[in-house]
Amino acid sequence: MQQIIRWVIASMVLGAGTAAAVDFDSNVPMLDRGAATYYVAGEILGVGAVDLMVDTGSGYMTINEETLKTLLQSGGASYVKDLSGVLADGSSMKVPVYRISQLRIGESCLLRDVEAAVFPGKTRQILGLSALRQAAPFIFSMNPPKLVLSNCTERVAQADDKTS
C-alpha cells in the first residue's frame, strides 16, 4: 500500500481562500536527499538557479549572505526588518529580513515580493512559509515527492510572453 502524506495548509491558518482541486495548477517535483529532506529547483531573479530545501516548519524562506550580496548588486532585494528568533537547537539569533522581488519555484510557479531571512555564511537556502504562504493552499506529497501549488502570482509562461 502506497502511503501518501499530504499537508494542505487550510485557509484558516494562512488566510487564503478555499481552493478547488482545479486550483492546484503548479506541480513541482521534489528531490528526496534522504534524512527526510526534500529539495525543489528554483530561481531567484538576479541570482539564477538555486536548490531550495522545503521546510514547512520554517516561518521564513532563508537565503545565505552570498545570495544576499548578489541580490543587492542586481537590485533584486530590499531590507524589511530585523528578526529575532530561537533556532531548533535552542540558541537565539538576530537576522535581517529582505524582500526578494521575484522567486520561481519549479518551472511554473512565479512569486513576487517574498520575505527571506538572511543567515550567515554559506548556509543552505530554505523554502519556508513566507514563500509557501503565497502559493497556498498547497500539497506536500512524499510519495511521489512533489509540491502541488496554487495561487502563484503568474504562470511562468505568461510572464515570459509579456517580456517578448
- Give the pLDDT of residue 3: 28
Cell of 120: 550567515
Domain ranges, ordered by start, for the chain: 11-163
Cell of 20: 478547488
CA separation, residue 24 to residues 68, 110, 112 (Å) = 31, 14, 18
The answer to whether 16 and 74 have CB atoms below 8 angstroms apart is no
Residue 153 pLDDT more than 90?
no
- Give the pLDDT of residue 164: 40
- Give the pLDDT of residue 23: 64
Mean pLDDT of 85-96: 87
Q: Does domain 11-163 have CATH number 2.40.70.10?
A: yes
Residue 82 pLDDT more than 80?
yes
The answer to whether 108 and 77 have CB atoms below 8 angstroms apart is no
